[in-house]
């Protein structure tokens, strides 16, 4: 798709503002997991990219270390950013899940220096691997055109198939969870028992506007530039989703503390921990009675 230069810069600056707003508001939680370090790094990368592109846009023709930089380089840098960002959705989603699966603590604990160092190195490695892949192993072919740099008004940008794939997987998982919870609710109500509290509602009450927006974009096949798709709110959504999945899995294990509480700063999982276990036990009892 072709995007006007002015719109491109305004959207990128708006994205940077949104990124830093979320980072500042959630600063208490940003230093406690890999997700927080990824969010901070993304905000820094976006800010650096916005600064460079804005400088080129206003100067239009500048020489840096003997290299002439013009408006053509705005399109070149944006396309490189699109290719780089488009590679990160699945790796980030998987790494966030693995991090919480291994290290999620239900009660707040200070992050030790070696984990901070490990997260920092991991983030640097993720960005470095993505950039190296774009330049050395991908079929990146920039489309910057041959117009005179003063006449360039639009740039070609690309969308990310990975963001759509990750959202479809998470949406399918949410749909299955809602269906399962509804069946358990109806089964227990039919037996005259007390309806169980469903911890899934805690997640949905926070993120349903975001899910609805993403669903609308998906249904109408709206092309979103890859440098916009990867943003801090999107990473926080994936974080809440991964935490909910990890807590539900742990709640199925014997010896799990049913009164444990947890919050990721967006959705408080006060009930998620023990509701999952209660639902699982109730489902098992239904199956036994039927058999």
Residue 203: both structure tokens together: 């997640």
Q: What is the pLDDT of residue 256?
A: 57
List, in order, residues 6 or more apart from 162 with CB less than 8 Å away: 86, 87, 88, 89, 90
Residue 250 has pLDDT above 90, yes or no: no
Burial class (CB in 10 A: 0-12, 13-18, 19+), 160: buried
Characterize 247-261 residue by residue with b for buried, 16 or more Cβ atoms within 10 angstroms of its Cβ, and e for exposed.
bbebbeeeebeeebe
Residue among 205, 224, 225, 215 at smallest CA distance from 170: 215
What are the tens digits of pLDDT across the range 13-36? 999 999 999 999 998 888 888 999
**pLDDT category of residue 147 using cuts at 50, 70 and 90:** low
Residue among 85, 87, 84, 62 at smallest CA distance from 72: 62
Q: What is the pLDDT of residue 30?
A: 87
Q: What is the pLDDT of residue 43?
A: 97
List, in order, residues 6 or more apart from 87 with CB less than 8 Å away: 130, 133, 134, 162
What are the tens digits of pLDDT across the range 68-81? 888 888 888 999 99
Residue 269 has pLDDT above 50, yes or no: no
Q: What is the pLDDT of residue 262?
A: 64
Q: CB 23: neighbour CB atoms within 10 A?
A: 19
Residue 236: both structure tokens together: 């926080």
Q: What is the pLDDT of residue 150?
A: 57
Whole-angstrom Cα distance, residue 212 to residue 132?
Answer: 35
> Which pTM does this prediction carry?
0.83
State mean pLDDT over 51-65: 86
Residue 289 has pLDDT above 50, yes or no: no
Whole-angstrom Cα distance, residue 82 to residue 221?
Answer: 18
Q: What is the pLDDT of residue 197?
A: 47
Q: Compare 238 and 107 and report the one with higher pLDDT.
A: 238
State mean pLDDT over 282-286: 41
Q: Rounded to 5 degrees, what angle do the CA atoms 222, 226, 231 make?
A: 100
Identify the sign of the CA torsion 174, 176, 179, 182.
Answer: negative
Whole-angstrom Cα distance, residue 157 to residue 166?
Answer: 20
Q: What is the pLDDT of residue 65?
A: 79
Residue 278 has pLDDT above 50, yes or no: no
Q: CB 206: neighbour CB atoms within 10 A?
A: 17
Backbone phi, then psi, for 3, in 5-degree steps? Answer: -125, 130
Residue among 21, 159, 23 at smallest CA distance from 81: 159
Residue 97 has pLDDT above 70, yes or no: yes
State mean pLDDT over 226-230: 92
**pLDDT category of residue 268 using cuts at 50, 70 and 90:** low
Whole-angstrom Cα distance, residue 47 to residue 19?
Answer: 9
State the chain's mean pLDDT as an integer.
Answer: 80
Locate all alpha helices (DSSP H) within the chain, ordered by sequence.
Answer: 5-25, 27-30, 34-59, 72-86, 89-103, 113-136, 161-190, 200-219, 226-229, 232-251, 272-290
Residue 272 has pLDDT above 90, yes or no: no
Q: What is the pLDDT of residue 146?
A: 61
Q: What is the pLDDT of residue 288?
A: 46
Whole-angstrom Cα distance, residue 265 to residue 198?
Answer: 19
What are the tens digits of pLDDT across the range 170-200? 999 888 878 877 777 777 677 665 555 445 6
Q: Is 255 left (phi over 0), alpha (psi -120 to 50) or beta?
A: left
Whole-angstrom Cα distance, residue 34 to residue 46?
Answer: 18
Q: CB 277: neighbour CB atoms within 10 A?
A: 17
Q: What is the pLDDT of residue 245?
A: 82
List residues bridging with 69 in a β-sheet.
62
């Amino acid at each position: 798709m072709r995007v006007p230069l002015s719109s491109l810069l305004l959207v990128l600056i708006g994205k940077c503002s949104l990124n830093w707003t979320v980072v500042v508001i959630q600063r208490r939680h940003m230093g406690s997991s890999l997700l927080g370090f990824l969010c901070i790094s993304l905000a820094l990368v976006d800010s650096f990219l916005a600064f460079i592109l804005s400088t080129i846009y206003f100067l239009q023709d500048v020489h840096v270390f003997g290299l002439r930089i013009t408006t053509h380089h705005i399109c070149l840098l944006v396309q490189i950013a699109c290719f780089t960002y488009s590679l990160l959705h699945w790796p980030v989603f998987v790494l966030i899940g693995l991090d919480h699966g291994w290290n999620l603590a239900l009660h707040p604990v200070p992050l030790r220096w070696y984990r901070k160092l490990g997260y920092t190195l991991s983030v640097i490695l993720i960005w470095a691997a993505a950039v190296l892949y774009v330049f050395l192993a991908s079929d990146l072919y920039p489309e910057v055109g041959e117009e005179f740099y003063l006449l360039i008004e639009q740039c070609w940008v690309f969308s990310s198939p990975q963001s759509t794939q990750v959202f479809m997987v998470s949406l399918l998982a949410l749909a299955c969870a809602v269906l399962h919870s509804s069946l358990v609710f109806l089964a227990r109500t039919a037996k005259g028992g007390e309806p169980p509290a469903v911890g899934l509602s805690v997640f949905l009450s926070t993120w349903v506007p975001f899910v609805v927006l993403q669903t609308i974009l998906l249904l109408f096949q709206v092309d979103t530039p890859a440098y916009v798709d990867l943003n801090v709110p999107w990473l926080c959504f994936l974080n809440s989703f991964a935490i909910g999945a990890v807590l539900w899995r742990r709640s199925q294990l014997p010896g799990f503390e049913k009164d444990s509480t947890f919050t990721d700063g967006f959705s408080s999982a006060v009930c998620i921990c023990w509701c999952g276990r209660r639902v699982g036990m109730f489902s098992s009892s239904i199956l036994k009675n039927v058999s």
